[in-house]
Amino acid sequence: MLFKMTLSYHPYINEYTLGETMDWTHRLRLRNLRMLLSLAQTRNISHSAAALNTTQPGLSKWLKDLEDDIGLPLFERHARGLRPTPYGEVLIDHARRMDAQLERAAEDMAALREGGSGRVVIGASGASASDTVPLAVLQLLERMPQARIKLVENTMDALMVKLGQGELDIVVGRSAPEHLDPGLRHETLYMEPLHMVARPRHPLLSQQSLAWSDLLAYRWLLWPKGTPIRTSLEAALESAGLTVPTDHIESNSVTINLTLLNTTDMIGVASHRSALRLSHMNTLRLLPIRLPGFGSVAMYWRHAELSGNAAVSTALDCLRAVSANASPP
């Protein structure tokens, strides 16, 4: 039996009061969350019904009953399928976070059952993936040898979305104030400049000094527009009276970037610590030309995740320690 929320208006007190009805959230189950997420993904009731091993009429009725209970339309019906309404997007976002938390709970229990001492999922952008994060992970394993660690690499915009949805515990990368959320905490770890980089034995490395015209003779490999490192590069070039060259390739993959830079004469850009680390590994070389300005690298986390999660708290401490002990640029 379905219970509906009813509102009664009282003119003498000029407000509405909630009738004695059951809250619709009390009837939501894990399967209901998966049904909602499936509809958000497929945008098609018949496809979701098949994936969920249920009937199309049953799924349609469930969605209609849920919308009636909430009192808001969650999806717009079109000839080609469904489209989430603004109300639906809000509920879907909550459902994604709850689903991620349930998945994390299962993974945490599995880690503890296998003898682990905690679990932490860290997202790293290109600014931190080559140096800061791996060094902090090594330190974390020294302090907590049985910790279960998962690393995810991506651009800051994608990582911050995953952090907000509960899929990540910590994100480390170039400061991204445009992605800040009230539910997130952040802390600047260090300031560093950018460097132009190229493969070892690149023709430009044989020159005593470089001008920007020398670099513009080669194709550039850049991070996508809108990423913090690209924004920092554009600001640095602007201060030098330059713009990003037309002849360039965009990539958000560290692996692809390293392969292209190491096997061609393309020129790339890297954060200071990443550039030094890759230089020590004889993968890339710093070109002798200065990019003006500095950028900051920060870590982001959800404050609620620190409660009872020693691995996350220790990981934050390790990131602070690695950042403080590294040589300044």
Q: How many CA atoms lie within 13 A of 187 on its CB side?
A: 11
Does the predicted model carry a pTM greater than 0.95? no
Same domain, 88 and 141: no
Q: What is the mean pLDDT of residues 301-325?
A: 83
pLDDT of residue 327: 54
Is 228 a member of any domain? yes
Is 152 a member of any domain? yes
Residue 116 banded pLDDT, cuts 50, 70, 90: low
Is 207 a member of any domain? yes
Same domain, 226 and 278: yes
- Number of structural domains (the chain) is 3
Residue 33 banded pLDDT, cuts 50, 70, 90: confident
Is 98 a member of any domain? no
| Per-chain mean pLDDT for the chain | 83
Top mean pLDDT of 24-28, 118-122, 267-271, 287-291 is at 267-271
Nearest-angstrom CA–CA distance, 109 and 35: 25
Give the Cβ contact number of residue 147 at 10 Å. 20
Q: What is the mean pLDDT of residues 8-35?
A: 56
pLDDT of residue 26: 67
* β-pair partners for 286: 197
Q: What range defines the domain where residue 29 resides?
A: 7-93
Same domain, 265 and 301: no
Q: Which residue has the higher pLDDT, 260 or 68?
A: 260
Same domain, 245 and 120: no
Given a cut of 50, is residue 18 above it in pLDDT? no
pLDDT of residue 96: 82
> Tell me, what CATH number does 178's domain have?
3.40.190.10
- Read off the pLDDT of residues 174-204 as tens digits, 9 standing for 90 and up: 887 766 677 788 999 999 888 999 999 999 9
Q: What is the mean pLDDT of residues 76-100?
A: 85
pLDDT of residue 253: 86
Spatial contact of 125 and 155, defined as CB atoms under 8 Å apart: yes
Is 104 a member of any domain? no
pLDDT of residue 2: 41
pLDDT of residue 5: 41
Is 272 a member of any domain? yes
Nearest-angstrom CA–CA distance, 126 and 156: 9
Is 301 a member of any domain? yes
φ/ψ of residue 190, rounded to 5: -170, 165
* β-pair partners for 10: 15
Residue 70 banded pLDDT, cuts 50, 70, 90: confident
Provide the residue type at 50 as one letter: A
Same domain, 281 and 310: no
Given a cut of 60, is residue 145 above it in pLDDT? yes
Query: What are the structure tokens assigned to 294, written together?
Result: 């500095």
Q: What is the mean pLDDT of residues 160-168?
A: 86
pLDDT of residue 300: 94
Same domain, 277 and 219: yes
Same domain, 302 and 182: yes
Burial (CB count within 10 angstroms: exposed 0-12, middle 13-18, buried 19+), residue 186: middle
Same domain, 86 and 147: no
Gyration radius of the chain over CA positions: 25
How does strand 119-124 pair with strand 170-174? Answer: parallel
Same domain, 16 and 84: yes
Residue 326 banded pLDDT, cuts 50, 70, 90: low
Name the nearest CA neighbour of 127 among 255, 229, 202, 244: 229
Given a cut of 80, is residue 150 above it in pLDDT? yes
Given a cut of 60, is residue 169 above it in pLDDT? yes
Same domain, 300 and 170: yes
Q: What is the mean pLDDT of residues 80-86?
A: 88
> Tell me, what CATH number does 267's domain have?
3.40.190.290
> Tell me, what CATH number does 59's domain have?
1.10.10.10
Is 103 a member of any domain? no
Same domain, 200 and 283: yes
Same domain, 213 and 300: no
